[in-house]
Structure 1
Amino acid sequence: MRNITVEEFKSSCAAAQQLEIVERKGLGHPDSICDAIMDNISVRLSGEYLQEFGEILHHNVDKCLLVAGEVTGIFGGGMVTQPMLLVIGDRATFSADGKDIDVCSMAIDTATRWFDENLRFVEPEYVDYQVELKPGSAELTDIFRRKGEVLGANDSSAAVGYAPLSFTESMVLDTEKYLNSPDFKEQYPESGEDIKVMGVRKGNDFDMTVAMPVVDRFLESEEHYFRMKNNLTDAIDSFISGYVEEKGVSMNTTFSLNNLDMPGRGMNGIYTTVTGTSAEDADCGQVGRGNRVNGIIPLNRPVSSEAAAGKNPVSHVGKIYNILSHRIADRIYNNVPDVEEAYVWLLSDIGVPIDKPKVAAAQLIMKKGTVESVQDEVTEVIDKELENIGEFTMELARGMISLY
């Protein structure tokens, strides 16, 4: 028995509401950097543990602080005068069965690789590392020694997911992905990776604010910056127009780029970076302050409070249920007829196997018909996903599911 309930969600769907506000912190945002690196470290550790011991051992590397450095911005290319500091923390298994695991070196190597592969202008010497990983507590570590196909939950924790994304949510998410895509960077190499998109829809009026730095090595002068900004504005405008047309949505759209800019103030009045990220001198980052696991910050929706990035993928329900709730909601929306919107709630009971949550609840908004008419189908979807939770956790362990 899995305590599955299905009921009506007594509200209008997101797209029918008068107001929606959605944010997306892009690839190079300091918070996104922390989420990405820490989850990559978890994937790296999981792979090492599987290779050496045949199972994933205790780790929760979900505490991270990216401390901003200092730079001197100059037309034609500035310089980093003090590197960023990445503090990597929490718990991991350093030895088992007489074998040692060099967790600290693995963490630094993983972080260095991520910067190299994702931020074009961050050189290795621009980041210092401080590793504060320690062995875990006896009781939480012991969860991993209790044999069984499915481990017990390491916490009592709740999560909620939903499907589908609204047009506003998809628009914000896809805009940032487009601006940080390889094709866009090839065409506009001056555009930095630290992109933030804020979208607001009021009825049929959609407005988007984009912040995207220009890398100063590509700039000759303030006037050159504003010419480049005009080109970037035209590219974004073309993308938005095409996106709205492709989706077949009737929407009045407006957007603005780098609103803080003020002509006549030189480098002080334009948004530039040396490295493409504001973590170089302006903004620190932390795990859990960025996007939710579906890639956005949706202010109109119920969201989970847990930071998923870096938590272990086999017992930490703050990660597993957080992402699984969205997957189940998506399965319900795509496989059960006449469901307009689905919300899924999962609650763990510490020590109880993760495939048997204390609560597994679906709340539905129907296009037509009743919740009762699809209750059995929805229950079957939830039950099947929980039955296959072992396969799901292995997808997480291998880094096959994006969660930022």
Structure 2
Amino acid sequence: MIRIEAAKGEAVAAQRVEIVERKGIGHPDYICDAVMDAISVALSQEYLRRFGTILHHNIDKSLLAAGRVEKHFGGGRILQPMEMIIGDRATFRAFGEEVAVGEIAVSAAKRWFIDNLRFVDPDHDLNYRVVLAPGSEELTGIFARPGQTRVSNDTSAAVGYYPLSATEQLVLDLEHYLNSNGFKGDFPDTGEDVKIMGLRQDDSLELTVAMPLLARFIGSEQEYFARKTSIVKAMQEFIATGKYSFKTGIAYNCLDVPGMGLDGIYLSLLGTSAEDADSGQVGRGNRVNGLISMNRPMGTEAAAGKNPVSHVGKIYNFLANHLAREIYQSTDRIQEVYVLLLNRIGTPIDQPQMVSVRLLMEDGLTVDLRNSVEEIIHRNLDRMGDFCLTLARGEFPVC
């Protein structure tokens, strides 16, 4: 069923208060989401290569347990490695052949750390515990059913919206900047564990930024605070050169207290707080558009690691945002688009139980616009198989 209606209220950008959060690539929650999805992609490609189809798996249960380190100005050492627990379900045997699921999972996890965190040695700084097991007969049986598209293996809903507000875009852009090759080239002493909280009140935006400095590069407390000043200046210059119209304030590493030595500064050995301070878990990080926006509707379903051809908890999260964007870009009459998707377990994924579209517009909802939106929805549902394969290749980041 498809329902299209005009939304009531005001656009997020017109609301007096807006709160937006972004967890960066080195944040423990981000790591869990990204690593589990990398494992799902690796398994999907192995299943396709060997059997010509993607088999049952859901790698969406994970915990990154923080380790322990000893830090001092100029360096430190690992006392206890971080531990990555990899769970939930996968297909270990198909068509009479064994699949080395555990080896594939650990290899994909290690590759992610090598590609994304400069100072984490995936062989030395982490231990891996694989707790994957075969799925139930009923759920694995989904993959033996005929049909070009799978039926959903869960009853699940997802929501997406477009466009981003200026606050959302700035928060997203700033984290991308702080973890860019250019910034890390200028400031190699900064870690990847970036967290940004934006609070907009009318046209004033307060940004609270956390990002550690790396102990190996910092020789003293005085040097730490000098670098901190330079980093704030770089952030201010980045914002000033962008197309942002806010009065912007930046508070950086707010727990710092001069004169307390190591107890009063945010130093890191590896660039992530998972080394000794903060554990991570799948589903606690960004939504699939990269943000945690308090003024927007948010689903509770974690997309990371879920099966890309049968779990609508993943498929519909991406599809809802994709539909919202395509609908918005199809006309200049719309201010905001919200798309809600729901499907029932056992129903083909290209036949959602509900597609609800809410359009925030200055003028009314015309028949022509309604027909145009329905055409976009039907066209995308007809291409569901291709869309799922893009997810299986990891072409869309989950966080």
Structure 1 length as normaliser, TM-score?
0.97
SS of the residue corresponding to residue 362 of structure 1 reads strand
Corresponding residue of 1:302: 297
Shift of 1:368: 3.2
> Cα distance, 1:361 vs. partner?
1.2
Alignment of 1:272-351 (within 5 A): 272-351=267-346
The answer to whether 1:99 aligns with 2:97 is yes
Match of 1:63 in 2: 61
The letter of the residue matching 1:32 is Y
| SS of equivalent to 1:116 | helix
SS of 1:347 mapped into structure 2: strand
Unaligned regions of 5+ residues in structure 2, if any?
none
Q: Give distance in 1, aligned partners of 2:28 and 2:326.
A: 32
Partner of 1:374: 369
The aligned residue for residue 149 of structure 1 is 148
- Equivalent position of 2:166 in the other structure: 167
Q: State how far apart, in whole Å, the 2-side matches of 1:302 and 1:219 are.
A: 42
Contact 1:70 1:82 in 2 (8 A): yes
Question: Would the aligned equivalents of 1:6 and 1:371 in 2 still touch at CA under 8 Å?
Answer: no
Aligned partners of 2:287, 2:268: CA distance in 1, in Å? 26
Alignment of 1:252 with 2:250, yes or no, is: no
SS at match of 2:132: strand
CA distance in 2, matches of 1:346, 1:151: 17
Using the alignment, how far apart are the partners of 2:365 and 2:17 within structure 1?
27
Q: Which runs of 5+ in 1 are unaligned?
A: none
Q: Does 1:401 align with 2:396?
A: yes
Distance of aligned partners of 1:371 and 1:159 in 2 relative to their CA distance in 1, 3 Å threshold: farther
Q: Offset of 1:371 from its aligned partner? A: 4.9
CA contact (8 A) 1:195 1:211 kept: yes
Paired amino acid for 1:28: G
Partners of 2:246 and 2:29 lie apart in 1 by 31
**1:263 Cα offset (Å):** 0.4
Query: Is the CA contact 2:25–2:194 (under 8 Å) kept in the aligned structure 1?
Result: yes
Q: Look up the equivalent residue of 1:83 and give its one-letter code.
A: P
* CA displacement at 1:274 relative to structure 2: 0.3
1:281-311 Cα deviation digits (max 9, x unpaired)? 0000000000011100001100111000000
Structure 1 equivalent of residue 360 of structure 2: 365
The number of equivalent residue pairs is 398
How far has the Cα of 1:154 moved from its partner?
A: 0.8
Q: What amino acid does structure 2 have at the position aligned with 1:91?
A: R
The runs of at least 4 consecutive aligned structure 1 residues that moved more than 2 Å come to 367-373
Amino acid corresponding to residue 345 of structure 1 in structure 2: L
The answer as to whether partners of 1:336 and 1:378 remain within 8 angstroms in 2 is no
Normalised by the length of structure 2, the TM-score is: 0.98
Matches within 5 A, 1:2-401: 3-123=1-121, 124-243=123-242, 247=243, 249-401=244-396
Cα 1:184/1:250, change in 2 over 3 Å: closer
**Superposition deviation, residue 373 in structure 1:** 4.5
Distance 1:179 1:291 in 2: 17
Percent identity over paired residues: 53
d(CA) in 2 for partners of 1:362, 1:370: 12
SS at match of 1:134: coil
